[in-house]
Amino acid sequence: MPDSPLPAEHSHGSPLRRRPCDFCNKSTALLYCRADNAKLCLSCDREVHSTNQLFTKHTRSLLCDGCDSSPASIFCSTDAVVHCQNCDWETHNKSNSNSNSSSPATHDRRPLEGFTGCPSVTDLLSILGFEDLSKKGLLLCGSCEEGSDSYGSGDKFPDYLVWDTPSFVSLDDLIVSSGSEHNYQAMGVPPLPKNRNAAFGAYKDELVRQLRELAKSDPNVDGDEGIIKPINDEFQPIINMATTQNNRSSGFEHNKLEEQQVAYSSNEANTFQWCPDVCDAVGQDLYSDQLHNATETQCIVPVEKIDTVHHSITAENTQVFPNIFVGVREINSQERETALSRYKEKKKSRRYDKHIRYESRKVRAESRIRIRGRFAKMDRLDV
């Protein structure tokens, strides 16, 4: 783990606070793992989350530039910072913010999405929004270390800073970060930008530096071509893993794998999907929410299988796969109360009001001629 000098300041001149990695306590933490409740640098993140299949499913996000203790979910390209929902609310609802000459409420902000698995440097470049920075350039551009490259400490954020937003709301989004004092919802975040680029905040330089270190140490990097071969980021549904390894005794028989494949993010797995305790406590409400939003949470489980899944992964499997399931249970028992309260608070602050995606369509709809409330054909008006 390389020791990391702290970045002096971010592009807007405000000094960066020290936020050491919870794992090595040396490097600057750039990511936040909600399942582990930990701040990690890129190197430690890879180390921690490549240890077994379950850990690769933890959802990680950029660390909030505001509070340094929550996963960022909003990127403000105007201020070039990433914020958690609470910090975003605070920043962009202040009437007298001096972060920029423009009104904070009009800042160009976009939702951020976390990532799972054990992505290669190539994937990280894409995930973190450095798609334009070639891997070769990452390795060869020594001047980048002084921040003199286009991704260095310059003030300009070109148009590649447009984040590809998630097309769904994961269950993570139902959980409010615990480190803040309130649970305000982020307001006014423009949905669904088209460009497939990402965002990085105040710690951009440190991000580049750690990516470079990662690329140097990555054995899969082909230095000649700058091609970084993906390491094992293959997704292996845990259901299948458990059943294939334990098909002799689990009683969870299956011949149709497609019926039982489960895609889910780590938090869903840790907090909800695999923990009957929490589900029971939260009650049918949460459970039905999760099922109703199956497509949003990427949880694809036939309803009739849910019970089977739960029972097949309880006591028996924890004995067969102690490394996997004991870890899950520890997390659940420690964080159950927190998760519950977070969920309840989050639910209270849900926004049910209608959200207009395209103002132009609204304007047109309002101005259209109607017959009994329905849009009328233009040619009918001539009659």
Partner DNA sequence: CTGTTCAGTTGTGGCATTCCGTTTT
Partner DNA sequence: AAAAACGGAATGCCACAACTGAACA
Which residue, among 332, 321, 315, has the nearest Cα to 270 in the 3D structure?
332
| Cα(345)–Cα(72) distance, integer angstroms | 18
Of 155, 366, 382, 383, the one binding DNA (CB under 7 A) is 366
Q: Are 262 and 237 in contact (CB under 8 A)?
A: yes
373 in contact with DNA (CB under 7 A):
yes
Question: Is 361 among the residues that bind DNA (CB under 7 A)?
Answer: yes
What is the token pair recorded at 120?
A: 């290669």
Q: Which one of 303, 357, 382, 383 is in contact with DNA (CB under 7 A)?
A: 357
Q: Is 362 in the site for DNA (CB under 7 A)?
A: yes
The nearer residue to DNA, 256 or 372, going by C-beta atoms, is: 372
Q: Dihedral, CA atoms, 86, 55, 5, 140, nearest 10 degrees? A: -110
Does position 364 interact with DNA (CB under 7 A)? The reply is yes
Binding characters for DNA, 182-201, by CB under 7 A (x = yes): ----------x-x-------
The verdict on 351 binding DNA (CB under 7 A) reads: no
Q: In this structure, are residues 83 and 91 in contact, taking their beta carbons and an 8 Å threshold?
A: yes
Contact call for residue 353 and DNA (CB under 7 A): no
Using CB under 7 A, pick the residue from 155, 315, 360, 383 that binds DNA: 360
The answer to whether 350 contacts DNA (rule: CB under 7 A) is no
Q: Name which of 176 and 228 has its Cβ closer to DNA.
A: 228
* Min CB(134)–DNA separation in Å: 12
* Alpha-carbon torsion angle 57, 60, 43, 15, nearest 10: -170
Q: Is 375 in the site for DNA (CB under 7 A)?
A: yes
Restricted to residues 217-256, the positions that interact with DNA (CB under 7 A) are none
Please state the closest distance from residue 382 (CB atom) to DNA, in A: 11
Instruction: List phi, psi (to 5°) of 307.
Output: -60, -40
Measured from the CB atom, the residue of 155 and 379 that comes closer to DNA is 379
Residues 156, 348, 351, 374: which binds DNA (CB under 7 A)? 374
d(CA 296, CA 302): 15
* Nearest distance in Å: CB 187, DNA: 17
Question: Which range, of 61-69, 225-233, 282-290, 365-373, touches DNA by CB under 7 A?
Answer: 365-373
The smaller minimum CB distance to DNA, of residues 169 and 376, is found at 376
Question: Taking the CA of residue 17 as centre, how many other CA atoms within 13 Å lie in the half-sphere pointing to its CB?
Answer: 9
Task: Number of residues interacting with DNA: please give it, by CB under 7 A.
Answer: 22
Closest to DNA by CB, 168 or 358: 358
Report the C-alpha gap between 208 and 145 in whole angstroms. 8
Residue 219 or 373: the one with the smaller Cβ distance to DNA is 373
Structure tokens at 163: 């984040």
User: How many other C-beta atoms are found inside a 10 Å radius of the C-beta of residue 246?
Assistant: 18
Block residue for tokens 């669904």? 192
C-alpha distances out from residue 308 to 255, 258, 298, Å = 14, 15, 19
Element (H, E) at 221: strand 221-222
- Nearer to DNA among residue 181 and residue 382 (C-beta): 382
Closest CA to 172 of 264, 96, 110: 264
Q: Between residues 18 and 292, which has the closer beta carbon with respect to DNA?
A: 292
Q: Does residue 292 bind DNA (CB under 7 A)? A: no
* Sign, CA torsion 261/176/38/326: negative
What is the edge-to-edge ordering of all strands in the sheet holding 31-33?
A: 38-40, 31-33, 60-62
Residue number with CB closer to DNA (27 or 165): 165
Instruction: Give the nearer residue to DNA in terms of CB position, either 253 or 379.
Output: 379
Distance CA 42, CA 47 (A): 9
Under rule CB under 7 A, residue 354 binds DNA: yes
**Segment lying near DNA (by CB under 7 A), choices 82-90, 99-107, 323-331, 366-374:** 366-374
Question: Site residues (CB under 7 A) for DNA?
Answer: 192, 194, 354, 356-358, 360-362, 364-366, 368, 370, 372-379
